[in-house]
Structures are given as structure tokens and as C-alpha cells.
Amino acid sequence: MKTVNDVETLERLYGVPGKSSVLKEVDHLHPAYRPFIERSPFMVLATSGPEGLDASPRGDPAGFVVIEDARTLLLPDRRGNNRMDSLRNIVADPRVALLFFVPGVNETLRVNGRASIVIEPSLLERFTFEGKQPRSVLRIFVETVYFQCSRALIRSGLWDPARQVPRAEFPSPGSILEALSPEDFDGGEYDRELPARVKTTLY
């Protein structure tokens, strides 16, 4: 199978980026880009570490990622499954990539930078939500920012209600865990208890 193994071949295959593709990249949170972060209730955090790569979904009410200044973002780490994949990676390698989504908007925002894990009590208190503090806050030093054009989301029809998959047609968390478990696992019981568990442990 023929593959591409060097940058020169890659550039011959794809050509040079257009002027707008270069123009849109900046090294700070330009005012034109702030709405993508301020109105976003969902983003993906990508990290890299000795055990490999990780891309983790993060969500909260819009504005949960705070623009501290033109070069700094603050991201509270809400309650999860305690795997800590992203945090383990950041301890070893601070480089991070963020992808912001705004419902109904086909353009996305890409941010690259370096993160530190902050546990300063005053900062944790600042991000208290529904009476619960995050265990840590990621302080992200921004290095590059640019918007991604609409093609991917248009092709996917991500915001098109007609393309939504009925949940009943998709494997449930319990059925997945039951299929993967080497021991007896009651997937039905897990699914029955899951909605209440999520509700009481959301924060």
C-alpha cells in the first residue's frame, strides 16, 4: 500500500494553504474569537503523555471555560470517573489542544497551548457550581488560536435533528459493560440505576 512518509510529498499532494488559512491563526485570544469560548457549552481537551494520547469531552453551561486574559484560559475539572487520563498526561507533558463547539454554529475554535493543574483554594472556590468545587482547575497558557471552517460539521450534519440517532437503537452503557466484563455483570441493573446516579453525581 502506497503511503506518504515525508513532508515534501505531503505538500506536493495537498498544495500550499490558502491565504485565509494562515491569516486566521493568532497567538492570543483575539476579540473575534472570544464568543466561541464564551458561548460554548462543550469542548474537547486533547493531551499527550507516556502512555499515549487522550481526547476528553468537557461540558458545562456556556462560559464554563473562563477567559482570564488574552493569553490565559481557566478550565474547571468537574467530577468524573477518576481515571484522570488528561491530568496524568498533563503532569508528564503540559501541551494541550482544545476544540470548542457552539450549538447551531458550524465553525469551531481550535486552541493550542500548555496547561498546569492548579489547586489553589481561592481559585477552586471561584468555580463552585451547585455547591460543589472542582478538585482542580486547568490554567492554560494560549500559544495558537484559529477557527475551523464549517465543512466538517456541514458534511456530518451534526446539528440536523433529522440525523439524530434514537437512543434505543444504540448500545446502552450497561450492555457495553456487560459485553466487556470477564465476570458476571448485570447490564440491565446498571442501566436502571444510571439516570439517578448521574443526577446525584453530576457535580
pLDDT tens, residue by residue, 146-160: 999 999 999 999 999
| CATH number of this structure's domain 18-156 | 2.30.110.10
- pTM value is 0.93
Beta-carbon contacts of residue 34 (< 8 Å; ≥ 6 apart): 67
* 171-179 LR contacts (CB < 8 Å, sep 24+): none
Q: Can you give the residue ranges of every domain in the chain?
A: 18-156, 165-202
CB count in 10 Å sphere of residue 80: 14
31-89 per-position pLDDT tens digit? 999 999 999 999 999 999 998 999 999 999 999 999 999 999 999 999 988 899 999 99
Cα-Cα-Cα-Cα dihedral of 132, 138, 139, 144, to 10°? -130
